[in-house]
Amino acid sequence: MSKTHDEAAASNKDDEDTGGGRDHTISFTVDTNPLTATAKKMTAAAILQLAGLDPETHYLVLVKGRKQDRLANDEIVNLHDDMTFVSGSTAPTPTS
């Protein structure tokens, strides 16, 4: 079940504010760039922002072996070490 972006952002904020005993840093990659987070759950939009990408013009894809799952921006991701994500652009492709 997906939450609205505001609900997900509030949920992420609660996780960050309380700490909830989350001392473990989670390492993962977006577009081969290594990133870390202390929150165990983040929205796809928050992961894109952490990677320096605009969720309005990009989407996140979870890569598991040969399988790729496109994630909605409001989708909650349960983060684990060594997860791999790639991003895609929703901007129009220019033609020459």
**Any idea which fold 5-89 has?**
Ubiquitin-like (UB roll) (3.10.20)
Rounded to whole angstroms, the Cα distance separating 90 from 85 reads 16
Q: What is the pLDDT of residues 16-59, one digit of tens each?
A: 443 445 468 999 999 999 999 999 999 999 999 999 999 999 99
pLDDT at 16: 45
Residues 35-73: b if buried by 16+ CB within 10 A, e if exposed: bebebeebbbbbbbebbebebeebbbbbeeeeeeeebeb
Look at residue 8 and tell me whether its pLDDT is greater than 60: no
Q: What is the pLDDT of residues 57-70, one digit of tens each?
A: 999 999 999 999 99
pLDDT at 76: 98
- pTM listed for this prediction: 0.73
Domain boundaries, the chain: 5-89
